[in-house]
A = this chain, B = another copy of it.
Amino acid sequence: MQLGVCYYPEQWPEDWWADDAARMVQMGIRYVRIAEFAWSRIEPEPGQFAWAWLDRAIETLHAAGLRVVLCTPTATPPKWLVDADPGMLAVDANGQPRGFGSRRHYCFSSPTYRAQSARITAAVAQRYGQHPAVAAWQTDNEYGCHLTVLSYSLAARAAFRTWLQAKYKSIDALNTAWGCMFWSQEYRSFEEIDPPVGTVTEANPAHRLDYRRFASSEVAAFNRIQTDLIRQHSPGRDVTHNFMGFFTEFDHHDVAADLDVATWDSYPLGFTQDFFLGAAEKARYARTGHPDIPAFHHDLYRGMCSGANKNRWWVMEQQPGPVNWAQWNPAPLDGMVRLWTWQAFAHGAEVVSYFRWRQAPFAQEQMHAGLHRPDRSLDQGGVEATQVASELKALGLHATGDAGTERPAMHARVALVLDYPSLWMAQIQPQGADYNPMEISFSAYSALRQLGLDVDIVSSRADVAGYALVVLPAHLREDSALAARLANSGAQIVFGPRAGAKNQYLSFADGLPPGAFAALAGVQVQRVSSLPPGVLDTVNWPNRALSGNSHWREDVQLQGAEAVAHFDDGHPAVLRHGRSWYSAGWPDAAGWKQLFSRAAEAAGLATEVLPEDLRLSRLGDCLYVQNFSRSSVHYAPSNHAQCLLGARDLAPQGLAIWKLQPSA
């Protein structure tokens, strides 16, 4: 458990650098991310590199004993590059090239920009790849931010045609897969196919899905060019990329396959304001953030670099105070920065790195807080980061080697499957205006957490053996390989609505939904309804408990399953078949908890009813108790536990750490 920070030496007088570095060390920071976005400073004129300042910056940090995370500056191609090659620009859905003057204006499919990206990556990696201070690399920055994955440039069109040709081989195969006889959409050659944009009404969903898949693969290919070059010139260093929150425009599992460590940028208050929560929840969590938003992503990104990389992950950017980019930007309550940092560690983060060392007084992000204010004074985030560093040291949790060398294990017995193509399918054909697959995934996750369960969020390719409970809240994609692994896993399995409903071309699964999951679930979905706001069904549970259903419901035929809960009109709402559970609707929080309590009990997992906005995490042999509520809360773990930090009574924004004894 180590702390880091994002630092932009080019934005500050050089005579501040050494002092900044000394104060970082004093604060307990070990990692410093630099050079992100610095292309125009590194190469102010085409082909003329200005390394001197960056040499000195790295030397300054190195001299202070800090470890450097170096970035490729490709998220911000400079103006001279854009003017020399306007064809490199991404093109929006209206056919307008996206202009220079902010960031991420490039098209992932541009061959000329890929060459430029390789050129600058190689140049930076060659110069600093062997530098002893350089511990890790970050490629680019936040791929896709500001919705830049989908581009409709001529370059993208050409690449899409090539991609389709490679996938389908013959145009007849594509016409069949897409159902092009519908509405006379048939093509005679791949050269006739355009991006699915600008159509009079909805474009063909298979066409749209393939464009999403194509665009996602372009991101991965773009990234791979950089990771290959970095590994060539800077062997032994970790390579990472900083992912985002609730972002689904590309398949993160594909990009992560080329990384050593997954990192992500955690802005709990911004995400609370900008995503699907209702107005009342946005107000309620305005200053704390929804407690499960960071946790959800921690568990998601922990699962990114799975397999050989053993689930290594960091928070690359941790919100240190109010930000500038959400619809509303409140300041976190005092104590939240500390709590978020500990929450990340409790979910297994190797490093929590704050964005940013000091608030910039100029340009787009000037209203984004840092650990320090623009006048160099310590801001509240800095106070709390200092406190965390002290606590880590006092508890002996502060790693002394490089990140990843010493890591306590997570032992989640629950897996939640998140599958990007399934998300795309629901986004392309939501069938109801508010059917958001990320929202239902998050609501299922939150219910699990409210029951005190630790959760791994895994890809559909994950080995689910060993889990006691596997949840698929929004797995629309028919997936017979996963079905087979689930069948063999011995786990209790919970399917959300629409599971397995679609084949890989976003057509109906063979037979009817849930397709490949039908044998497991023991149901056949015969009809679906998306429900307008205000249509709320009651779900009746055997213990007389009631829960609510909205957004969606399905009429199912029992094919072996039995009904566990019913809608008011007697139709089955939740079904059970052997080890499988199926939700024929979109449950509210109470409904998810009813369902998961039963499934967990069947799986032999203990659940508990936690006080509101209290959360538990188990890491190594410790239990981390986190109070996100605005009230004091009492929480006592088993008698055998030893309190390392905090106490049974947790103040608002309070934390307790307990060392658990092996159970008798």
Residues of A within 8 A of B (CB): 8, 10-11, 37-41, 44-45, 73, 76-80, 83, 90, 94-105, 145-146, 148, 178-188, 192, 194, 196-207, 273, 279-280, 282-283, 286-287, 321-322, 324, 327-331, 360-367, 369, 373-375, 377, 379-380, 429, 431-433, 505, 507-508, 511-512, 526-535, 555
Assembled-state Cα–Cα distance A182/B367 (Å): 14
Q: Is the CB of A535 within 8 A of B286?
A: yes
CB-based contact B362/A192 at 8 Å: no
Q: A200-B103, A431-B329, A529-B331 are in contact. Are A365 and B192 (CB under 8 A)?
A: no
Of residues A369, A377, A529, which shows the largest number of chain B Cβ atoms within 10 Å of its Cβ? A529
Whether the pair A362, B199 counts as a contact (CB closer than 8 A) is no
Copies of this polypeptide in the complex: 3
A161 to chain B, nearest CB (A): 13
**Cα separation A100 to B179 with both chains bound (whole Å):** 15
Determine whether the beta carbon of A535 is less than 8 Å from that of B99: no
**Cβ–Cβ contact B11 & A363, under 8 A:** no
Minimum CB–CB distance from A518 to chain B (whole Å) comes to 11
Q: List 16 A-B contacts (CB under 8 A).
A: A11-B181, A41-B186, A79-B187, A94-B96, A102-B185, A102-B199, A279-B534, A321-B527, A322-B529, A322-B530, A324-B431, A328-B532, A329-B530, A362-B507, A373-B526, A379-B526
Closest Cβ neighbor of A99 among chain B residues: B198
- Give the residue name and chain of the B residue nearest to A327 (CB): B433
Given known A-B contacts A79-B186, A182-B37, A90 and B45 have beta carbons under 8 A apart: no
From B76, B186, B287, B508, contact of A366 by CB (8 A):
B508
A367 contact set on B, CB distance < 8 A: 429, 431, 528
Q: How far is the CB of A583 from chain B (nearest CB, A)?
A: 17
Who on chain B is nearest to A148 by CB? B200
A361 to B331, CA, bound (A): 50
Residue of B nearest to A188 (CB): B80
State whether A76 and B184 are in contact (beta carbons under 8 Å apart), knowing that A102-B200, A204-B101 are contacts in the complex.
yes
Interchain CB contact under 8 A, A534 and B330: no
Given A37-B183, A79-B188, A185-B40, verify A206-B363 contact (CB < 8 Å).
yes
CA A263 to CA B195, docked complex, whole Å = 35
* Chain B residues within 8 Å of A45, by CB: 188
B505–A362 touching, CB < 8 Å = yes
Contact partners of A431 in chain B: CB under 8 A: 324, 329, 367
